[in-house]
C-alpha cells in the first residue's frame, strides 16, 4: 500500500520558534510538494521538489524554506513561526510524467500561539 507519511498530525508552537514539518514517501517518487490549506483559499503551493536537492518556489514561499537531502524525505521549515502561519499543511508526492496521480499525507494541523 502506497504511503505518504507526515511526522505529526497536530502541532502547537510559539511565535518565533523554528518549526520542522517532515514528510516521507515510500513510492520512490521524483516529485514532492508542500501545500497549506486554509478555508476559502483551497490548497496553495508553498514549495515543490523534482529531485534530490532540487527545489522550486510555489505561489506562497515567503516565510518558508525546504530541504530534500534524500529522495524519500521532504522537509518544510518555518524559520521563525508567526501566527499567520497557523494552518493545515499537506504533503504530496508524484512520480514523473504527465499521467500521474498525487498521493497525499494526512496533513499536519499547525497552531502558532
Partner 1 sequence: GDSVTQMEGPVTLSEEAFLTINCTYTATGYPSLFWYVQYPGEGLQLLLKATKADDKGSNKGFEATYRKETTSFHLEKGSVQVSDSAVYFCALLNYGGATNKLIFGTGTLLAVQP
Helix (H, G, I), strand (E, B) or coil at 10: strand
Q: Check binding of 1 to partner 1 (CB under 8 A).
A: no
Grid cell of 9 as nine digits: 498530525
State the nearest-atom distance from the C-beta of 90 to partner 1, in Å.
7
Question: Near partner 1 by CB under 8 A, which window of 15-23, 34-42, 63-71, 73-81?
Answer: 34-42
Q: Check binding of 50 to partner 1 (CB under 8 A).
A: yes
Map residues 74-103 to x or -, x wherever contact with partner 1 holds by CB under 8 A.
Answer: ----------------x-x-x-xxxxxxx-
State the nearest-atom distance from the C-beta of 57 to partner 1, in Å.
11
Report the alpha-carbon distance of residue 23 to residue 17 in Å, rounded.
19
State the nearest-atom distance from the C-beta of 88 to partner 1, in Å.
10
Do the Cβ atoms of 5 and 23 come closer than 8 Å? yes
Report the alpha-carbon distance of residue 4 to residue 69 in Å, rounded.
17
Helix (H, G, I), strand (E, B) or coil at 85: helix
Amino acid at each position: 500500500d502506497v504511503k505518504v507519511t507526515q511526522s505529526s498530525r497536530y502541532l502547537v508552537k510559539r511565535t518565533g520558534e523554528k518549526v520542522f514539518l517532515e514528510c516521507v514517501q515510500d513510492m520512490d517518487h521524483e516529485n514532492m510538494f508542500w501545500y497549506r490549506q486554509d478555508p476559502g483559499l483551497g490548497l496553495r503551493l508553498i514549495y515543490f521538489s523534482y529531485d534530490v536537492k532540487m527545489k522550486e518556489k510555489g505561489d506562497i514561499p515567503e516565510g518558508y524554506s525546504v530541504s530534500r537531502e534524500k529522495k524519500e524525505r521532504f522537509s518544510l521549515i518555518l524559520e521563525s513561526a508567526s501566527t499567520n502561519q497557523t494552518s493545515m499543511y499537506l504533503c504530496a508526492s508524484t512520480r514523473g510524467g504527465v499521467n500521474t496521480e498525487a498521493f497525499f499525507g494526512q496533513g499536519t494541523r499547525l497552531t502558532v500561539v
